[in-house]
Amino acid sequence: DPCRNFHCKRGKVCHVDKQGKPSCICQDPASCPSTKDYERVCGTDNKTYDGTCQLFGTKCQLEGTKMGRQLHLDYMGSCKYIPHCTDYEVDQFPLRMRDWLKNILMQYYERDLDTSGFLTEKQRNKVSNPFQVKKIYQNDKRLVAGDHAVELLLHDFEKNYHMYVYPVHWEFHQLDQHPVDRVLTHSELAPLRASLVPMEHCITRFFQECDGDQDKLIALKEWCHCFGIKE
């Protein structure tokens, strides 16, 4: 099968011509496999698609057009009303996000302790620096997970600043994968953004404002600056 090891980007599928040569053509959205309700996604055109296959197939068919360039995955789930993000809310956002990232790392570490080998060695090295995470985990001054007031989150960041530096860097490098080049593109941010938009309506504005030079890329320096990490 000429298509066996022939890879196409999202929205395209392998097609074999009469000479037996494989090439990538746009996925027909109508031929996408059926999906469950929870697999629906919302595009940046504010239209609900029956899964990412249909969304990226549609984007491919619009390739070369303004609509095609502007169409991206906005968030997981059917399109719904997303409240406007106020200046006050966007200022609060990095406080909660920093705390959330720190707690995710702690969960990974705890799970690995409980199951002794929840993560393989390769996963453990990719997920975190065990020494850094262990230091945060064992610190008795650590603010444990909870729905904390903004004032407490701000106070903890100022008092225990060192506990937040690594989680912020870790998340950047988790996202910086295609390629690993110390800048985040729209598609690299998508896994984080798309899952959080329905719960954190300020995440889109936050990342837009995080792009200080407006080049549609978030460099490591810009990312750290947005989260209050010192140079």
Query: How many CB atoms neighbour CB 98 within 10 A?
Result: 22
128 has pLDDT over 70: no
Residue 222's identity, in one-letter code, is: E
84 has pLDDT over 70: yes
Query: Which domains are seen in the chain, by residue range?
Result: 12-76 (3.30.60.30), 87-227 (1.10.238.10)
25, β-bridge pairs: 13
User: For position 6, what pLDDT does the model report?
Assistant: 92
91 has pLDDT over 60: yes
120 has pLDDT over 90: no
116: confidence class by pLDDT, cuts 50, 70, 90: low
By C-alpha distance, which of 24, 105, 11, 111 is closest to 61?
11
Phi, psi angles (nearest 5°) of residue 91: -70, -30
126 has pLDDT over 80: no
Q: What residues have CB less than 8 Å from 161, skipping those under 6 apart?
A: none
The pTM of the full predicted model, rounded to 2 decimals, is 0.77
Helix-, strand-, coil-residue percentages of the chain, each rounded to 5: 50, 10, 40
Could you tell me which residue, 187 or 173, shows the higher pLDDT?
A: 173
> Residue 94 to residues 100, 127, 129, 187, 201: CA-CA distances in angstroms?
10, 21, 22, 21, 13
User: For position 113, what pLDDT does the model report?
Assistant: 74
For the chain, give the percent of residues with pLDDT over 90: 71
